[in-house]
Amino acid sequence: MKKLAQFVLTTLGSGLLVVVPIYLAVLLILKAAASVADLVRPLSKLVPDWVPAERILSLLLVLMICFLIGVAVRTQRGRVARDVIEKIFFERIPGYATIRSLTHRMAGDENERVWRPAFAEIEEALVPAFIIEEFEDGRYTVFVPSVPTPFTGAVYILEGKRVHPLEISLTQALRVISKWGSGAKDLVISAEKTRSQ
């Protein structure tokens, strides 16, 4: 009964980690669209009444602003401004840096050092893990996820010789964990290739 309750809670938690950010993003976009409705109202009067022009134009304006901010952030000055804003405001929020690193990894940013897939030697076994940080002395902080919910688990600090980074994508590692280990042989092959190089 306890295992069932734990399974339900961890699965619910994993689902919330996916649904809540999407819900909040949509909610913020709709709220922003409602706040710029006054700006587009004159243009919406040029369109027939049966078309919800005010809502459509408001949404398009918000999306255009998001696009322009995205373009600005890709410039050198934009990156500097984003980094300053992150350090001053967002990095004070607990878990922000970890979530940011996770989303960068999921988006395919291979330069991101956090959430790097690995095998960790625990007892007499290799277990799928994610490198969270690397110490100056070569030790690692690793997160070992629970199966099949990859965002719950345990944190270990291990010597470098007990952690074997994998040359695979984060999504591939998450897929193996969420499928109860199906496909783990590909992870083992990747680890053996990395060790032989």
Give the number of C-alpha atoms closer than 13 A to the C-alpha of residue 8, restricted to the C-beta side.
Answer: 5
Predicted TM-score (pTM) of this structure: 0.51
Q: Which residues pair with 126 in a beta bridge?
A: 121
User: What CATH number has the domain spanning 116-196?
Assistant: 2.30.30
Sole residue written with tokens 């984003």:
82
**Residue range(s) in the chain whose domain bears CATH number 2.30.30:** 116-196
SS3 for 155? strand
What pLDDT is recorded for position 36? 78
What pLDDT is recorded for position 110? 57
- Per-residue pLDDT of the chain (197 residues), as tens digits, is 667 766 776 676 667 667 777 777 788 877 887 777 777 777 777 777 777 777 788 888 888 888 888 888 888 888 888 878 877 777 676 666 666 666 665 555 555 566 788 888 888 888 888 888 888 898 999 998 887 777 788 899 999 889 988 887 777 777 788 778 787 777 777 767 666 66
What pLDDT is recorded for position 157? 92
CB atoms inside a 10 Å sphere around CB 52: 12
Length of the chain: 197
Residue 118: exposure state from Cβ atoms within 10 A (0-12, 13-18, ≥19): buried
